[in-house]
């Protein structure tokens, strides 16, 4: 049975490596105007204090960049009283100066704040492993890859995503639905 940890139990992790999921990266490194930001900043600080190695992978970085860009696009639409049909994401926003500025800001955050603090790990998935992912359940395709990385490397998963509720890996979270 996998263990569940809250911020008060970080000391119990005994220096284990922690895999940081996309939602937590958003709370830590991009303004989401969410009450979760403070909770995960505290957890991040505690993990750093106890010298737990923090890791993530390429797909999570990619999701972080794409989600942060979409968040900025949605803010832009609201601020400018535009609809999605009036100002399309790919055709209009990404090539606009506002879109380019947002993407540059996001890339700078990844380069200057995220990558210096978090190590990258990776895995080449086999055909058989990919076939295992092709099962309809509560997890999306990338979440299944994250679980395999965590299992294969004995990592604790730091996430706020309740989709991981029944995952067979150790989880650290501020989300009581996961605990």
Return the CATH superfamily for domain 4-172: 5'-nuclease (3.40.50.1010)
pLDDT digits (tens, 9 = 90+) for 74-94: 999 999 999 999 999 999 999
CA–CA dist 56, 54 (Å, integer): 7
pLDDT digits (tens, 9 = 90+) for 153-172: 999 999 999 999 999 999 99
Domain residues of the chain, as ranges? 4-172
DSSP calls for 79-108: HTT--TTTS-IIIIITTSHHHHHHHHHHHH
| Prediction pTM value | 0.93
């Amino acid at each position: 049975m996998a263990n569940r940890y809250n911020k008060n139990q970080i000391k119990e992790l005994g220096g284990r490596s922690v895999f940081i999921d996309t939602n937590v990266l958003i709370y830590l490194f991009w303004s989401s105007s969410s009450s979760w930001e403070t909770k995960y900043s505290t957890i991040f600080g505690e993990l750093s204090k106890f010298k737990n190695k923090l890791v993530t992978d390429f797909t999570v970085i990619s999701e972080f960049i794409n989600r942060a860009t979409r968040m900025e696009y949605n803010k832009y639409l609201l601020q400018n009283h535009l609809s999605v049909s009036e100002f399309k994401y790919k055709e209009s926003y990404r090539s606009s100066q506002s879109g380019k500025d947002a993407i540059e800001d996001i890339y700078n955050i990844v380069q200057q704040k995220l990558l210096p603090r978090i190590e990258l790990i990776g895995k080449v998935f086999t055909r058989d492993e990919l076939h295992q992912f092709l099962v309809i359940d509560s997890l999306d395709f990338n979440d299944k890859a994250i679980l395999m990385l965590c299992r294969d490397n004995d990592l604790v998963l730091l996430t706020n995503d309740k989709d991981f509720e029944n995952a067979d890996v150790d989880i650290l979270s501020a989300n009581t639905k996961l605990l």
